Amino acid sequence: MTYDDPNAAPWQRPGPGGEPGPASTGGPVPPVGYSGPPPTEPPPTGWRPPTYIQPPPPRQLAPQDLDKIDSQEKDARTVTYGIGLVAAAVLVVLSCLLCSRVLF
């Protein structure tokens, strides 16, 4: 597409002051300033549908045993640290084996 293309006229920017550009077809000139959003009207009274069924109130949550939760978190942390230590030991042994194989 070149700048002289006659099909490009609708896509060209208007000149200064809102006048059409040189290749314009002479169509309507858009307004220069922003006139704001369109006016709105408030909705008519009673526009919401009627509500017939009321939802039940929320249920009571079960009580929590904070001491039991703390002990379970401690057990989970111990298991996590144990798995991490075993994995680290395996990696150290494998690294030592690979390094000794390369060096010797």
CB distance 20 to 14 below 8 Å: yes
Whole-structure pTM value? 0.40
Q: Band of the pLDDT at 67, cuts 50, 70, 90?
A: very high
Q: Tens digit of pLDDT for each residue in 81-97?
A: 999 999 999 999 999 99
Query: Do residues 21 and 27 make contact, with C-beta atoms less than 8 angstroms apart?
Result: no
Residue 47 tokens read as: 């526009």
Give the model confidence (pLDDT) of 19-29 as tens digits: 555 555 556 66
Give the separation between CA 54 and CA 65, rounded to whole angstroms.
33
